Amino acid sequence: MTVGSQVQGLLSSLQSIDATLSSLAIKTKEHEAREAFHQGALKTRTIIKEIQKRAAQIEFEEPTYQQ
């Protein structure tokens, strides 16, 4: 398994976590819990953006992706 494919797997996991946190934020009635889920989703999205940048760099550098 290449580093690139591991990073893609990480991105998939993070996107799933983001979706779960967003869903919980919508469904939760308690204000503090809703806010915590929302903040967690926002932080996860920030991490996703950073990992996506790194994934693009890895794809550029890894010989597996070069043709």
How much is the pTM? 0.84
**Residue 47 near residue 13, CB atoms below 8 Å:** no
- Rounded to whole angstroms, how far apart are CA atoms 45 and 56? 17
What pLDDT does residue 67 have? 53
Per-residue pLDDT of the chain (67 residues; tens, 9 = 90+): 778 889 999 999 999 999 999 999 999 999 999 999 999 999 999 999 999 999 998 888 877 655 5
What pLDDT does residue 62 have? 72
- Rounded to whole angstroms, how far apart are CA atoms 67 and 65? 7
What pLDDT does residue 51 have? 96
Q: How many CB atoms lie within 10 A of CB 4?
A: 19
- Domain boundaries along the sequence of the chain: 3-61
Reference 8, options 63, 66, 56; nearest CA is 56
- Rounded to whole angstroms, how far apart are CA atoms 16 and 26? 16
